[in-house]
Amino acid sequence: MTTSFETVTSADGTPIAFDRTGDGIPVILVGGAFNDRTTVAGLAATLSPDFTAIAYDRRGRGDSGPGAVYSVEREVEDLAALIDHVGGSAAVFGHSSGAVLALEAAARGVAMTSLAVYEPPYVVDDSRPKPAADIFDRVRALIADGNRDDAAELFLVEAAATPAEVVKGMRDDPFWAWFTGLAHTLPYDLALCGPGSVLPAGRLAKITAPTLVLDGGESDAWMRAGARAVAETVPGARYVTVEGQDHGVLHQPDVLRGLLTEFLR
């Protein structure tokens, strides 16, 4: 299956880069924190026999421009521009904070034939502490000081609830350079999730697109609770647990093929 590289211009003039793979109903794949279009490429290949899979770089990542000033509205406009470019409506799949972006876009009326989200990271119970109210400012300050290592660690520990000792080990791994390379975009993910990563029930209740909410049977309790809460809030949403999987499901995209192929088309 051939893949073509393209760009589309968002409403504020920012170029948004994407890879197009396959032929069929378009499905836009939205990655989360520390993700660019390469991290959803495996899922794009998995879906390409049945869909035109669009794997894109969210603004500030990969080959997409950063834009002059970040806001959630600009990211929603980016997704809307992609959907308009591929025909005016599309199915959408979002992972983690990319799921939050997809939900926000659907709540704002961006045209979607269907929507699937995997573990949007809302904190809805006391199974973990809520991110501190000032984490956005602290991460942004570290980035401004050029301290990408500590910015990535702060995000992982306080926003993603990764155990501190695990992150300390990650910093010694050569792959840590991937995390620091995308650390400048972490304020975008924090802005999407909002202070405290609170579920925006009023907005999500406005979603009219058919919605599938997924979580992993091996995922942390707080992520699963957040997914269930989204499914209970979005009108008519379907909730499914992918057994044997955790938040890293994009590393095994084949496990999603049956569910997504059936639902998104």
List, for residues 28-60, the tens digit of each pLDDT value: 999 999 999 999 999 999 999 999 999 999 999
Exposed e or buried b for every residue in 6-17, given b needs 16+ CB within 10 A?
ebbebebebebb
What's the CA gap between 167 and 172, in Å, rounded?
A: 9
Provide the pLDDT for residue 77: 98
pTM: 0.97
Provide the pLDDT confidence category of residue 159 given band limits of 50, 70 and 90: very high
List, for residues 237-251, the tens digit of each pLDDT value: 999 999 999 999 999
List, for residues 203-239, the tens digit of each pLDDT value: 999 999 999 999 999 999 999 999 999 999 999 999 9
Is the pLDDT at 265 greater than 90, yes or no?
no
Name the residue among 2, 1, 46, 8 with its Cα closest to residue 27: 46
Query: Which residue blocks in the chain are alpha helix, DSSP H?
Result: 41-47, 72-85, 97-107, 135-144, 148-154, 164-170, 176-181, 186-193, 201-204, 221-233, 254-264
Question: Residue 87 is encoded by which pair of tokens?
Answer: 């025909």
Provide the pLDDT for residue 207: 98
Is the pLDDT at 1 greater than 90, yes or no?
no
* Averaged pLDDT score across all residues of the chain: 97
DSSP 117: E
